[in-house]
Amino acid sequence: ARRSLAGGISSPARLTSTGPHPYPLYLREGSGARVRDVDGNEYIDHLISYGCAVLGHASPLLAGALAPLLTTGTMFGTCTTEEVELAERIEAMVPCAELVRFANSGSEAVQGAVRAARGFTGRSLVLKFEGHYHGWSDTLAVSNRPTPEQAGPAAAPRSVPHSPGIPPGVVDDVVVCPWNDPDALRTVLAAHRGRLAAVICEPIVANNACTMPAPGCLELLRELCTAYGVPLIFDEVCTGFRTGPGGAQGLYQVVPDLAVFAKALGGGVPIAAFAGRRALMEPLAEGRVKHGGTYNASPLCATAALTTLRALADPATTGWMEEAGRRIMAAVRRAAHDRGVPCAVQGVGAMFQVVFTPDGAPTRNYRELLAADRGRYDVFRHELLRRGVHVNAYGAACWFVAAAVTEDEVAATCAAVDGAFAA
Ligand code: PMP
């Protein structure tokens, strides 16, 4: 019965990019973990702008830091102190970060990291994993969500399924491997010995419904990449500074050669970074490998990132996100158990997803996600929306918890979860 502007607006691109809501949701204002739509309906928000508004919407910290810049000017094109300070902070927080470069989006920063690896190795082939998403470049967008026929398990390396609109031949420099599958990994690495420029993965697969790494999987990946002399890239666009101050590499104590950051880094302002071992990054510093971008770490965005990272460097901040998310995860498990609904709640507190797998077991790879009941997820999140809780519309992506979420909002989310399952 809720009205929406959408009836009078023809905006297919926008609707596609915001996902299949029961009605298009036009949000007008937000504060902390709350958002209000154009009709005045209020929601507790566990999408937080696809994970970007990690401190919460309209963060007073960010407002206080950014407002003065709008009157003093935000000059760039020369060296800026903000950029240097931000690089130093990232180096202090992230285990693999000896040198840092900046970009404007996760997709661009992924390209920067891949280029650094290609420049370092002199090779072009990249190994990625099914269901892992690394942005919208022609090369790495492929095979993000292969069809059931295209998905693994793969006994041997396969060519890459092309995304619609990408001509064959453009993406021949990528091979794809099933995730959490040591045998397939060994096979693919051996088959491409001496040809791989990089192996790239999402350490927690936010874009495969927060699939967790199987025990020992990241360690094996690290070991094999070292043995084969292939740079390992962690795409920490979702996990970075969120699953703890050191991201996934801090959480799992597995250190890649390069890592990519965006989303939480800017607290909602567009900024991204890639960082890594000195040997791989130095060619960029020396200009032997090129990386540019007019807006990279512009003072406005770098200040937003510095302010956000100062907050996230405090373990109490990420600790509360973890605790708040764990309470919601527990509520989903309890509600599902009480009603006898098979359901996996997977991820960590700060980012997780609810997946209606046939037997309630967590997914290990893309193929298992394909077997989950997406329709049921859709019903679930519609029922949540009705109860004033806004979550990701895509069952394949995940929920994000803002540091600003309050005890009351967590409790209200848990109650809405119970009501949604009852309905
Ligand atoms: N890598 C991962 C893991 C992501 O989740 C995303 C975005 N969802 C990207 C890369 C691309 O980032 P952007 O949308 O900022 O280009």
What distance in Å separates the CA atoms of residue 73 and residue 140, rounded to the nearest whole number? 37
Residue 140 lies inside a defined structural domain of this protein: yes
Residue 239 lies inside a defined structural domain of this protein: yes
What distance in Å separates the CA atoms of residue 262 and residue 273, rounded to the nearest whole number? 6
**Of 258, 280, 312, at which residue does a domain stop?**
312
Query: Does one domain contain both 246 and 362?
Result: no
Q: What atom of ligand 1 comes closest to residue 132's alpha carbon?
A: 3
Query: Does one domain contain both 284 and 297?
Result: yes
Q: What is the CATH number of the domain that holds 238?
A: 3.40.640.10
Among 17, 107, 138, the mutation site with the greatest number of ligand 1 atoms within 8 A of its Cβ is 107
**Of 256, 282, 312, at which residue does a domain stop?**
312
**Of 259, 281, 312, at which residue does a domain stop?**
312
Query: Does one domain contain both 398 and 288?
Result: no
Question: What distance in angstroms lies between residue 1's CA and the mean position of ligand 1's atoms?
Answer: 34
Weakest mean pLDDT among 7-21, 29-43, 120-134, 326-340: 7-21
The band of 180, judged by pLDDT with boundaries at 50, 70 and 90, is: very high
Residue 69 lies inside a defined structural domain of this protein: no
Query: Does one domain contain both 224 and 368?
Result: no
Query: Does one domain contain both 213 and 266?
Result: yes
Query: Does one domain contain both 344 and 239?
Result: no
Query: Does one domain contain both 203 and 182?
Result: yes
Residue 127 lies inside a defined structural domain of this protein: yes
Among 139, 210, 237, the mutation site with the greatest number of ligand 1 atoms within 8 A of its Cβ is 237
Question: What distance in angstroms lies between residue 411's CA and the mean position of ligand 1's atoms?
Answer: 30
What distance in Å separates the CA atoms of residue 267 and residue 54, rounded to the nearest whole number? 5
The catalytic position among 43, 50, 133, 377 is: 133
Residue 66 lies inside a defined structural domain of this protein: no
Q: Is the CB of 238 under 6 A from ligand 1?
A: yes
Is there a catalytic annotation at residue 263?
yes
What element of type H or E holds 347? strand 344-348
Q: What is the pLDDT of residues 65-116, one digit of tens each?
A: 999 999 999 999 888 999 999 999 999 999 999 999 999 999 999 999 999 9
Q: Can you give the residue range of the structural domain that contains 367?
A: 5-59+314-422
- Alpha-helix residue ranges (DSSP H) falling in 339-394: 366-370, 374-386
Question: What distance in angstroms lies between residue 106's CA and the mean position of ligand 1's atoms?
Answer: 5
Query: Does one domain contain both 279 and 324?
Result: no
Residue 43 lies inside a defined structural domain of this protein: yes
Query: Does one domain contain both 347 and 294?
Result: no
Question: What distance in angstroms lies between residue 71's CA and the mean position of ligand 1's atoms?
Answer: 32
Q: What is the ipTM of this complex?
A: 0.99
Residue 65 lies inside a defined structural domain of this protein: no
Residue 64 lies inside a defined structural domain of this protein: no
Among 52, 108, 132, 133, the mutation site with the greatest number of ligand 1 atoms within 8 A of its Cβ is 133
Query: Does one domain contain both 275 and 328?
Result: no
The band of 138, judged by pLDDT with boundaries at 50, 70 and 90, is: confident
Q: Look up tokens 């032997």; give the residue.
A: 288
The band of 148, judged by pLDDT with boundaries at 50, 70 and 90, is: low
Q: What atom of ligand 1 comes closest to residue 110's alpha carbon?
A: 10
Q: What is the pLDDT of residues 332-379, one digit of tens each?
A: 999 999 999 999 999 999 999 999 999 999 999 998 999 999 999 999
The answer to whether residue 12 scores a pLDDT higher than 60 is no
Is there a catalytic annotation at residue 128?
no
Q: What is the CATH number of the domain that holds 23?
A: 3.90.1150.10
Q: What is the Cβ-side half-sphere exposure of residue 254, based on CA atoms within 13 angstroms? A: 23
Q: What atom of ligand 1 comes closest to residue 272's alpha carbon?
A: 15
Query: Does one domain contain both 98 and 225?
Result: yes
Domain tally for the chain?
2
Query: Does one domain contain both 80 and 203?
Result: yes
